[in-house]
Amino acid sequence: MVKRTKVSIKLKTCKCGEKYRQYNSLQNKCPSCQIKEFYSKSKPNKLKINKPKKKHVKSDNKKNKDLAWKWFSKYIRLRDCLQTTKSKDMGVCYTCGKIIQFKGSQAGHGISGRGNALLLDEDIVKIQCEQCNIYKSGNYEVFVSKLIAQHGEQWYQDKLALKHITMDRDWKFEIEKYKDKYFELLYGKPKKLPF
């Protein structure tokens, strides 16, 4: 058995006069001097004043466009739920065939982009699950092949040509149009309801 002998550690003296143990060769000050040096090099601690963040103000046109999309999306999802399962609460994803709840469903475009000409096109927007629409970026391989099988290649090419066209729309009219269509599917009558 090997006997261990105690090694005495020599204490070093800092510039401030305090004695300290040197644990590595880079340590040339006592811990309190190291802390003081660290804080003196860092930025001075100023009182932080919470300034109100500038809110991005949407234009009325953008607000109306977003609202039109909201009602259009609701209409498309309800339409496809009724077509696929005959239920207002459940639908079938157009691309993967998974049964999804209305609340968890999304309205996905068969052609990428959200230009004004295609944003509210009822022919190319179908109900999709979140997996296909978000994580598979629309699952276009399946989506496009189904659209072409339904409508034909020429129809799809004509729709594809509209992708980069922008047009002025009366978004307030679109809001009312799809709100009425949604409530007509939901209740059997247009939106002339007290809410």
CA–CA distances in Å: residue 185 to residues 62, 76, 97, 188: 27, 10, 22, 5
**What pLDDT does 131 receive?**
94
- How far apart (Å, rounded) are the C-alpha atoms in residues 114 and 164? 9
**What pLDDT does 72 receive?**
94
Using an 8 Å Cβ cutoff, are 11 and 19 in contact? Answer: yes
Say what the pTM is.
0.68
**What pLDDT does 57 receive?**
80
CA–CA distances in Å: residue 87 to residues 68, 145, 156, 185: 24, 26, 29, 11
Count the alpha carbons within 13 Å of 43 in the hemisphere toward its beta carbon.
4
**What pLDDT does 73 receive?**
95
Query: What is the number of other CB atoms lying within 10 angstroms of the CB of residue 48?
Result: 6
Residue ranges per structural domain of the chain = 60-187
CA–CA distances in Å: residue 3 to residues 7, 9, 10: 12, 19, 22
Q: Provide block-wise average pLDDT over 10 residues at a time, the chain (195 residues).
A: 67 84 80 81 59 77 91 95 93 94 93 82 93 92 93 92 82 92 86 53
**What pLDDT does 195 receive?**
45
CA–CA distances in Å: residue 78 to residues 44, 49, 127, 129, 186: 58, 48, 9, 13, 8
Q: Which helix (H) or strand (E) holds 126?
A: strand 125-128
Which residues make beta-bridge pairs with 107?
Answer: 127
**What pLDDT does 2 receive?**
66
**What pLDDT does 32 receive?**
85
**What pLDDT does 113 receive?**
77
**What pLDDT does 5 receive?**
67
